[in-house]
Amino acid sequence: MVKQTIQIFARVKPTVRKQQQGIYSIDEDEKLTPSLEIILPRDLADGFVNNKRESYRFKFQRIFDQDAKQETIFENIAKPVAESVLAGYNGTIFAYGQTGSGKTFTITGGAERYSDRGIIPRTLSYIFEQLQKDSSKIYTTHISYLEIYNECGYDLLDPRHEASSLEDLPKVTVLEDPDQNIHLKNLSLHQATTEEEALNLLFLGDTNRMIAETPMNQASTRSHCIFTIHLSSKEPGSATVRHAKLHLVDLAGSERVAKTGVGGQLLTEAKYINLSLHYLEQVIIALSEKHRSHIPYRNSMMTSVLRDSLGGNCMTTMIATLSLEKRNIDESISTCRFAQRVALIKNEAVLNEEIDPKLMIIRLQKEIQELKDELAIVTGEQRTEALTEAELLQLEKLITSFLEDQDPENKLEVGADMRKIHHCFHYLKKLLHDKKIHRQSTAPSENKDQNCQEPLKEEEYKKLRDILQQRDNEINILVNMLKKEKKKAQDALHLSSMDRSELRLCQSSPFPPGNPDGPKTLPLSAPTQALDSSTSPYRSSLLHRKTGMREEMSLGRQEAFEIFKRDHADSVTIEDNKQILKQRFSEAKALGESINEARSKIGRLKEEITQRHVQQVALGISENIPVPSVPDQLEEKLRSQLEEEKRRYKMMFARLKALKVEIEHLQLLMDKAKVKLQKEFEAWWAEEATSLQVNLPAVTASNHMKPFPQMSEAQHERSQPLSNKSDVYARKILPSPGPLLRSQGQSSPATPVEDSIPERPVSSVPLTGDSQTDSDILAFIKARQNILQRTGFQ
Ligand code: ADP
Ligand code: MG
């Protein structure tokens, strides 16, 4: 923070006539503060001024006499201010003095010679020169130019060049925010990147000012002009921006109306011609007096705009311009008195810094990128948001080899990359999950490669035994169901004609019945397709979507479910609803088409009516007949058709709406019924499984066939082609698992598992005699065998 009183300077304008000497003297003793003495000429002292004093002495920072060059003025007055603005402080230079004392000459300059350039062009030149020199910061410069006349603000940088009077310029108003900051609405800010651009703006403003001036408004004497350079600076990469403003102010003429009393006596009070200068003085008086809490800035636009410059955050300088001619003595004294007061005002200039959030984001983004780059250098790999396909593949390979490696010391090394570590965990989880599902649902496909593996541990035996039991139950439930199916089919055979029966058989199996060269293996779903060909993928997927259950079912259960569904009472309801839904859909479709037709018909009718109408009017005009009072019949007909069509349209639309409601309702009902069906199936399945567990040993006991000798794969395959005869039951079913047998008290819990299981009596499955069905059963049996082989039972 820089605390400073407003600096005051005096500049004396060169006088035309040389005889004015002796009116003033300048005392510039180096040790003392320079002072200006104004000496009253004898004739004035006698007649005009009624006190006895003959001279007045005023102190200034510096006094520039008549011969002071513009260059000197700039160097001594403006340059220090410009420097503090470049450093980030606000600055103001204002010229105060009576009309013709040289304010404009000092601030803007003379129009004739280049050397007469005033403070504004020289400051611009200096600032841009400094900006160019300083590469440590990034600068932005904007220019605004405001004229205040009669308490109204005008934007002098209006680029339209259309102003012929001040009133044509955009009006600027003062706004104050809750923090008492002043904002100038409508004052345009123009960026200037070079001195030339800035000078062009000064020229534009001065031209506008000149054009707008008329002898009537005497703008140049009665208005204030504020040329402002807005400078922003920031260091590269920094988000902190410094803002500084430099106001270069050419005030209105300070002349007052001297009130003379009776007898030509000068009264103590002389009034400003310019009201806002009066308010400026009020502000200055208030500021110069101690303990004044209220400063009347708001009284005028000018004091509002210059609020910071007067007793605020600014380094302010005043130039008192004096035209020390005999006739101007009183005004010159007033100017100097004013300056003395101003010199008492203390300002506190602070650096105006703020953090630009946009720049902050950019800076942080840059920092992140740099860190990423650094990381890339350290790790030797470039990281993006997500892992690439190649990286994912590589990781999965690593995981696979890690899992396959028997060495317990083996480590999974993916480097210090959280993305990779996370992916490893996800992948491992997925593998674990897949394996679980795989074990539950695809036990039949357990491959024989497992045979050569070491015997599994106790708990794995238990798990496998459980799965085995589940499969046994599934097989038995399926076999029972298939038997029923077979019976049904046979009954149907008796009832229907031979031809139809053959046709159906051909459809259900690609192989003719009894063909000894029939399939060695068949797809598991083939019997289901034959039994329930109506199962559509749409329905199953819909059900799955609603229940989330189907996908978890083993294939055996799925088959059973399809049959269960077909025989369930609710399936009739579902089917019925499906049919109704179909009907409603097609009805809605047809209705939609009719509605579209009606709509276009309405459009056509409207068009026809308009045309007819136009024709009638045209006819009337061409034949000079007034519009007939009797309505046109054709038009009437078209209109009634239109009405009828509209009615139809409305009716159909209402029906369609109702249909939509119905369709949605039906869909909901169906979904509900499907969920219910699924639940009932689950219950039935569980029940069936339990009853099998109870009954199976009895069955196995009654069919106690000798265990088949162990079959090789080839032998097993050879045994698969089955005859069509239903009495071929001689198929080996391997022992039921331990828990089942233990529940029957046939096995001592103490008996080692390895020894006890293979000794159990086999359970046989009576085959159906249908080659396709039997093959499926055998597929289950084969899978079961595989499990047993894995467990080392065989
Ligand atoms: P103000 O703006 O205070 O009314 P001006 O700046 O217009 O006064 O000055 C009035 C006249 O005096 C102008 O013609 C101007 O060129 C001239 N003038 C003012 N100061 C000087 C100076 N220091 N040297 C030469 N001519 C000057
Ligand atoms: Mg002027």
- Which of 11, 12, 13 has the most ligand 1 atoms within 8 A of CB, as the residue to mutate? 13
Q: How far apart are CA 326 and CA 47, in angstroms?
A: 13
Residue bearing the CA closest to ligand 1, atom 5: 102
Residue bearing the CA closest to ligand 1, atom 25: 14
The annotated binding site for ATP is made up of 97-104
Our answer on whether the CB atom of 223 is closer than 6 Å to any ligand 1 atom is: no
Q: What is the pLDDT of residues 487-510, one digit of tens each?
A: 777 776 665 544 443 333 334 433
Query: Would you say 78 and 68 are in contact if contact means Cβ atoms under 8 Å apart?
Result: no
How would residue 363 be classed by pLDDT, with cut points 50, 70 and 90?
confident
Report the separation in Å between the CA atom of 248 and the middle of ligand 2, taken as the mean of its atom positions. 13
Our answer on whether the CB atom of 771 is closer than 6 Å to any ligand 1 atom is: no
Token pair belonging to 293: 């809490």
The annotated binding site is made up of 97-104
**Mean pLDDT for the stretch of residues 720-736:** 37
Q: Is the pLDDT of residue 358 over 50?
A: yes
* 516 CB-contact burial (10 Å; exposed 0-12 / middle 13-18 / buried 19+): exposed
Check residue 538 and give its pLDDT. 36
Q: How far apart are CA 6 and CA 96, in angstroms?
A: 13
Give the DSSP per-residue string, 227-256.
Answer: EEEEEEEE-TT--EEEEEEEEEEEPPP--E
More confident residue, 646 or 1: 646
Q: Counting ligands in written order, which one lies closest to the CA of residue 213?
A: 2
Half-sphere exposure of 64 (CA within 13 A, CB side): 23
Helix (H) or strand (E) segment spanning residue 347 = strand 346-349
Residue bearing the CA closest to ligand 1, atom 23: 13
Q: Counting ligands in written order, which one lies closest to the CA of residue 15?
A: 1
Q: Is the pLDDT of residue 734 over 50?
A: no
Residue for token pair 């590589």: 394
Check residue 214 and give its pLDDT. 64
**Mean pLDDT for the stretch of residues 313-320:** 95
- Residue 530: closest CA among 488, 590, 471: 488
**Mean pLDDT for the stretch of residues 534-560:** 52
Q: At what angle do helices 569-622 and 633-702 cross, to 10 degrees?
A: 170
How would residue 549 be classed by pLDDT, with cut points 50, 70 and 90?
very low
E-strand stretches of 60-108? 62-64, 91-96
Our answer on whether the CB atom of 103 is closer than 6 Å to any ligand 1 atom is: yes
Indicate the residue type of 149. Answer: Y
How would residue 421 be classed by pLDDT, with cut points 50, 70 and 90?
confident
Indicate the residue type of 694. Answer: V
How would residue 676 be classed by pLDDT, with cut points 50, 70 and 90?
confident
Report the range of poorest mean pLDDT among 171-175, 265-269, 346-350: 265-269
Q: What is the pLDDT of residues 177-235, one digit of tens each?
A: 888 888 999 999 999 999 999 999 999 998 888 877 766 556 667 899 999 999 999 88
Look over the chain and give the mean of its residue pLDDT values, rounded to a whole number.
Answer: 76
Query: Would you say 787 and 450 are in contact if contact means Cβ atoms under 8 Å apart?
Result: no
Our answer on whether the CB atom of 592 is closer than 6 Å to any ligand 1 atom is: no
Q: What is the pLDDT of residues 97-115, one digit of tens each?
A: 999 999 999 999 988 889 9
Our answer on whether the CB atom of 118 is closer than 6 Å to any ligand 1 atom is: no
Token pair belonging to 255: 């002349």
Query: Would you say 317 and 92 are in contact if contact means Cβ atoms under 8 Å apart?
Result: yes
Report the range of poorest mean pLDDT among 37-46, 318-327, 439-448: 439-448
Q: Counting ligands in written order, which one lies closest to the CA of residue 109?
A: 1
Our answer on whether the CB atom of 321 is closer than 6 Å to any ligand 1 atom is: yes
Report the separation in Å between the CA atom of 104 and the middle of ligand 1, taken as the mean of its atom positions. 7
Q: pTM for this structure?
A: 0.51
Our answer on whether the CB atom of 96 is closer than 6 Å to any ligand 1 atom is: no
**Burial letters for 640-676: b for 16+ Cβ neighbours within 10 Å, e otherwise?**
ebbeebeebbeebeeeeeebeeebeebeeebbebbee
Q: What is the pLDDT of residues 554-597, one digit of tens each?
A: 777 788 888 888 877 777 777 888 888 888 888 899 989 999 99
Our answer on whether the CB atom of 101 is closer than 6 Å to any ligand 1 atom is: yes
- How far lies 104's CA from each of 117, 119, 309, 354, 702, in Å? 11, 10, 19, 35, 127
Show the DSSP H helices in 446-536 as ranges.
Answer: 458-495, 498-508, 526-531
Q: How far apart are CA 256 and CA 263, in angstroms?
A: 20
Atom of ligand 1 nearest to the CA of 112: 16
Our answer on whether the CB atom of 71 is closer than 6 Å to any ligand 1 atom is: no
Check residue 683 and give its pLDDT. 79
Helices (H) and strands (E) in the chain, counts: 24, 19
Q: What is the dihedral of CA 657, 659, 664, 666, to 10 degrees?
A: 160
Residue for token pair 């005043």: 318
- Residue 101: closest CA among 55, 151, 66, 49: 66
Atom of ligand 1 nearest to the CA of 103: 3
Check residue 444 and give its pLDDT. 57
Residue bearing the CA closest to ligand 1, atom 10: 100
Our answer on whether the CB atom of 108 is closer than 6 Å to any ligand 1 atom is: no
Report the separation in Å between the CA atom of 267 and the middle of ligand 2, taken as the mean of its atom positions. 28
Residue bearing the CA closest to ligand 1, atom 16: 110
